[in-house]
Amino acid sequence: MSHAGLGEVLSLLMFLGACFVLVMGFPVAFSLAGTAVLFAGIGMLLDVFQFNLFGALASRYFGVMVNEVLVAVPLFVFMGVMLERSKVAEELLQTMGLMFGKLRGGLGLSVIFVGMLLAASTGIVGATVVTMGLLSLPAMLKGGYDPKLATGVICASGTLGQIIPPSIVLVLLGDILQGAYTQAQLAVGNFAPEPVSVVDLFAGAFLPGLCLVVLYMAWVIFIAITRPKAAPALEADPEEQRSLRHRVVVVMVPPTLLIVAVLGSILAGIATPTESAAVGAIGASILAAFRRQFNIEVLRIVSRSTLKISCMVFVILLGASVFSLVFRGLGGEAIVRDVLSNMPGGTFSAVLVVMALMFVMGFFLDFIEIVFVVVPIVGPVLLMMDIDPVWLGVMIAVNLQTSFLTPPFGFALFYLRGVAPPSLPTLDIYKGIIPFVIIQIIMLGILAAVPDLATWLPSFV
């Protein structure tokens, strides 16, 4: 076997080895970097990898440290954790439940609506699922809802934070796609490519995110009509109904203003994502103070949680940089390019294969792992096929959203299982998400058939 062929085989073995180690549950960043270093050593012994390639890591790490776009990650995390502590979700769920609970399927619609609002203000899946599981699940089960429908609605609504901006996934995807798009354009001879920004991805994901909300709601309405006993109306408390109008204003206005301030400033071009994330962090703190949920102890808890989540994201990013460098050094990128470029069916088949691969990997890996490992490898190859980078980014984001819902390692399922009553079978939770995973696949099909859904708003903005 030639040196090039041996290196390509090693790159594929390295990819499979990293997936195996991750599935075994070892820490992500160290698994990626450790697997890469091991195969780099094997490659050097076989004379198919050059050690001096590691010299490029220093500039990559420095680039991460000075990247202003990535500063938005800890700021958005801070905003989300602070809003969680300020009990915004709790009040929203209670108020929406009073508004719509007297309708068949109304409580399910309320959960989806609140999930949408929390997605546009917090974007943290774990906090949203746990909060809605603690507050809504008992009420839905007590009201006679089918346990499978109740758990499916809560899990699916909690994952909306992955696609509805501002989203941490979109920030990370935007940074990686920008580099991939530049690399692809230089490869085809365009030395002055149009930049792809996080703002473009935010704008591109906005309409598909709303479409996903509509599809979720349509499913709940369909169940309420065809199976009334699965989503019954709840009895209204006359005393609570009398104060409902005032309560709606008090509960809805502050988070809505925060969403408008953060997302509106980005889409209107008034502020960059990093600047608007800073506004969101301050706004969430003010909102918590307004609700008398802000003090030194809360600030300490929120700051520590932000530090943990941000460190996890950036350590994985640095570990994934080692993995990508060794994969390319062994010639893995060449084999990926050859396979995707020579697929029968051309561009459509190439995108379909990549989406299917990400979907299957979502059963076993976290979205961050997939973003940092797969996208840098396949992104440049797909973007050389004249694919719109914003459309591709939104497709990937919707696809990655399913990784939270698909067993055995769907994190939304774990979060809900942790707060669900012991009497609720785990199998019901797994069955409950099946219709919503199918809805997300349908959404991918709609995006593939109507790319303008993702590209119109960025071009308009």
The CA distances from residue 441 to 92, 341, 398, in Å, are 29, 24, 9
Looking at residue 237, its pLDDT comes to: 61
- Comparing 388 with 127, the larger pLDDT belongs to 388
The pLDDT of residue 240 is above 70: no
Supply angle C-alpha 453, 458, 459, rounded to 5: 95
Report residue 132: phi and psi, to 5°: -70, -30
Ramachandran angles phi, psi of 408, nearest 5°: -85, -10
**pLDDT above 70: residue 1:** no
Helix 88-100 vs helix 125-142: angle between axes, to the nearest 10 degrees? 40
Question: pLDDT digits over 177-197, tens only?
Answer: 888 777 777 776 766 667 777
Task: Give me the pLDDT at residue 19, please.
Answer: 79
Tell me what pLDDT residue 439 has. 93
How far is residue 42's CA from residue 49's CA, in Å, rounded to a whole number? 8
Beta carbons of 383 and 181 less than 8 angstroms apart: yes
Reduced 3-state DSSP string for 26-86 = CCHHHHHHHHHHHHHHHHHHCCCCCHHHHHHHHHHHHHHHCCCHHHHHHHHHHHHHHHHHC
* pLDDT for res 267: 79
Cα–Cα distance for residue pair 158/161, rounded to 1 Å: 7
What pLDDT does 17 receive?
Answer: 86
Residues 6 or more apart whose Cβ sits within 8 Å of residue 435: 152, 219
Confidence of residue 213 (pLDDT cuts 50, 70, 90): very high
The residue with tokens 């905003």 is 79
- The whole-chain average pLDDT of the chain stands at 82
Tell the burial category of 461 from Cβ atoms under 10 Å away from its Cβ (0-12, 13-18, 19+): middle
Least confident of 141-150, 233-242, 378-387, 422-431: 233-242
- pLDDT tens-digit map of 15-70: 888 878 877 777 777 888 888 889 888 888 888 888 888 888 888 888 778 777 78
Contacts of 110 (CB under 8 A, 6+ apart): 93, 96, 97, 99, 100, 101, 136
Q: Which of 25-34, 82-91, 164-173 has the lowest mean pLDDT?
A: 82-91
Q: Of 172-186, 239-253, 350-364, where does mean pLDDT reach its minimum?
A: 239-253
Amino acid code (one letter) for 235? E
Q: What is the pLDDT of residue 217?
A: 93
Least confident of 201-210, 346-355, 356-365: 356-365
Of the two residues 199 and 239, the one the predictor is more confident about is 199
Q: Is the pLDDT of residue 241 over 90?
A: no
Q: What is the pLDDT of residue 212?
A: 93
Confidence check: pLDDT of 242 > 70: no
Percent of the chain with pLDDT over 90: 9
pLDDT at position 244: 64
Amino acid of residue 182: T
DSSP 253: H
Question: Cα–chain-centroid distance for residue 285?
Answer: 24
pLDDT at 123: 61
Given this model, what pLDDT does residue 446 score? 93
The pLDDT of residue 270 is above 80: yes
Give the whole-angstrom CA distance, residue 108 versus residue 156: 11
Q: What percentage of residues in the chain have a pLDDT greater than 70?
A: 93
pLDDT for 261 equals 83
The better pLDDT of the pair 395, 315 is held by 395
The whole-model pTM stands at: 0.85
Residue 274 or 238, more confident: 274
pLDDT at 352 over 80: yes
